[in-house]
A and B are shown apart, each in its own frame.
Chain A
Amino acid sequence: MSKPGLPPFQQLLERHSDDVWRALRAIVGAQAAEDCFQETFIAALGAYPRLRPDSNPRAWLLTIAHNKAIDHLRRSRRRHEELEDAGAVQDPPGPDAEIWAAVAALPERQRAAVALRYIGDLSHREIAAAIGCSEEASRRSLHDGLATLRRQL
């Protein structure tokens, strides 16, 4: 019997690009989602052969996506220091435009927690690892973010 190996990268791309795309759209907005998406998958492709075959590729990809999103927000904040939150970009109008606008207006960490939990379906432990905080803090960010969204919608 051959040892289990990593599947072709294309498989990850097909299975998880939807989730990565939605999470990025929630965290950085529709306009920056494309760049962050490309950066996420190019970084993932580079590191892929070192991924342990038994790890969860979805959580791994969403963690990379979150890092790319945060990098993007920091860069654009530096560029537009006068803006309160550069990530709160104008999204094209759509049926859920109100919800996306409300998500985009959340503070960075709350927005990431909401995106990773409800779009990425990550566990609190995985969210904490992705954001780089304690599990307790990730729970609190999620709770606060949801409370704000509920109040507004």
Chain B
Amino acid sequence: MSDQLERALRAPVPGAREAARRFADRAAADFAADFAYTTIASPLGQLLLVAGRDGLTQMHYLDEPLDPLLENLARRRSPRIVESAAALDPWRRELEEYFSGSRSRFEAPLDWAAMAPFQRAILSATAAIPYGRTSTYAGVATAAGNPRAQRAAGNALGANPLAIIVPCHRVLRSGGAFGGYTGGLERKHFLLELEGAEAPRLPSA
């Protein structure tokens, strides 16, 4: 085979990337794919958003590499995962409005199905804390019908798969201390300040 022929056959042909994007957007839009994801920039750094047929299923601070997070999702739920910014538009828009101060509640659908019942109860109670207000671990445990489960409530909040949107940053320790935050206390402080909530002082470094 002549060099010219071989070179031509092996040379990349323009258009593949665009065709792949069109495919992914369409597969996400008609739910041929079980999950679509995208990453967006925010005042708190890169965020990963994942949605399925029933709504948003994950929203994480992207402090770790993306691939293991997606591989984990593939293993636990479905490997039919594609990247599509368009599919995540409703949540991206609401987040932008939230960060600009013009939105105080999230309305695009959320997928609660993958959560264990206890975590779901704790996170629903958390989702009911109004914008700009705070509660305590004891408070959400009580609201979830299990007042003694404060520590478990803390764990459930720490594993919140829908950061910011299910506002676990509004849950503080009794007595007004910060408690924990999976994304780091500075982010928790930022969000409470954004909402005009009475935020405890950040522990000094």
Q: Which residues of A contact B (CB under 8 A)?
A: 2, 5-10, 13-14, 17-18, 20-22, 25-26, 33-34, 37-38, 41-42, 45-46, 48-49, 96, 99-100, 103, 114-115, 118-119, 146, 149-150, 153
Contacts and interface: CB of A to CB of B under 8 A. Distances in A.
Contacts of A37: 19, 23
A62 to B, nearest CB: 13
A13 B23 contact: yes
B17 interface: yes
Please provide the 8 A-B residue pairs with the shortest distance between their CB atoms, ordered closest to farther: A21-B16, A8-B81, A17-B20, A96-B8, A6-B79, A99-B8, A118-B9, A5-B75
A149 B27 contact: no
29 contacts: A2-B75, A5-B79, A7-B71, A8-B82, A9-B81, A10-B82, A17-B16, A17-B17, A18-B13, A20-B16, A21-B15, A21-B19, A22-B9, A22-B16, A33-B15, A34-B19, A34-B22, A38-B22, A38-B23, A41-B20, A45-B80, A45-B82, A49-B78, A99-B8, A99-B9, A118-B10, A119-B10, A149-B5, A153-B2
A9 B23 contact: no
A91 B134 CA distance: 64
Contacts of B74: 5-8
Given A45-B32, A48-B79, A10 B24 contact: yes
B205 interface: no
Interface of B: 1-2, 4-6, 8-13, 15-17, 19-20, 22-24, 26-27, 32-33, 37, 70-71, 73-75, 78-83
A92 B188 CA distance: 56
B161 to A, nearest CB: 17
Nearest to A35: B19
A49 B10 CA distance: 30
B13 A10 contact: no
A73 B83 CA distance: 31
Given A38-B26, A42-B32, A153 B5 contact: yes
Contacts of A100: 8
B17 to A, nearest CB: 7
Nearest to B26: A38
